Amino acid sequence: MIYSVRMRAAQGAAHEDGGRHISGAERLVSRDQIGALTQSMVERAFSHSRGQTDFINITVEAVATENIRRLELLPMTTVAAADVSAGRAAAKAALAAAGVKSPAADAGMERLLALKDSMRGAMLICGVTGQRLDGTDGRGIRVSRMDIDDQNRFAAWLEKRGFTGIHIREAVVLATKVAAASGVIAELCWSDDPEYTAGYVASASGYMRFPQLKPYGVMQGGRLFFIRPETNITELMHYLETQPVLVVTPEEAE
């Protein structure tokens, strides 16, 4: 049996009572890992750069192992750009290459930039029109029940390629799950952590990192999932929120 362990932390009040999102995390672990993991999640919530946490929710839930889907980690590349505006232009080009229409990419990016503060989840955006499709307003859709299959092999694989830190580790796992959804064309993300300026565009063809998608110190960040117009939104949300996924680190060519 494995367990979905999910943490969300907010400031001022619980998320559902209007609290400000501070931190979240989701993992799939064995029973013997739950104690240490939940302790580290509490510590992480209390020491977050977005601010003081007043509310922490941790959920532990058994997941039936026969339902787990295994997905190969997306190939990762880093694209250098001189500054934030060059980074955003390159990210828009990557979205276009993945099949997102340019007005939709523009409208989506404007929605991210218009956020007063970050949401706890992602916006579903029509990849043709830029229309918002999830109808969850300030909440967003939280992707959950995913993890890497082998933490040590994954860490070694990332380190060998110069990819360091927890942001990358968590982001590429999430992006791999999202990109495998049949209705998803591509994802655009940048962090809501003020010290973390990097973001990415991901699609089934890969995870493309951009070291600067927002200025240092900014607490606005978020995620956009660009969706094919004919997609069944209820089924897509169900996959994103509940389908257990273990991401498999690629085999090394010796």
Give the single-character DSSP code of 138. T
- Among residues 109 and 219, whose Cβ is nearest to Mg ion? 219
CA distances (Å), origin 251, targets 69, 100, 156: 18, 31, 12
Residue 60 Cβ vs Mg ion, minimum distance, rounded to whole Å: 19
29 contacts Mg ion (rule: CB under 5 A): no
- Residue 96: helix, strand or coil by DSSP? helix
Distance between CA atoms of 126 and 130, rounded to whole angstroms? 5
- How far, in Å, are 86, 123, 144 from residue 126 at the CA level? 24, 10, 21
Verify binding: residue 119, ligand WAQ, rule CB under 6 A. Answer: yes
Q: ∠ CA 148-243-165 to the nearest 5 degrees? A: 30
Print the binding letters for residues 6-35 with ligand WAQ: x by CB under 6 A, - otherwise: ------------------x-x---------
Does 53 help bind ligand WAQ (rule: CB under 6 A)? no
Residue whose CB is less far from ligand WAQ, 198 or 254:
198
**How far apart are CB 254 and ligand WAQ at their closest, in Å?**
26
Please report whether residue 140 would count as binding ligand WAQ according to CB under 6 A.
yes
Q: Cβ closer to Mg ion: 12 or 62?
A: 12
Q: Are 202 and 187 in contact (CB under 8 A)?
A: yes
Under the rule (CB under 5 A), what is the footprint of Mg ion?
184, 192-193, 204
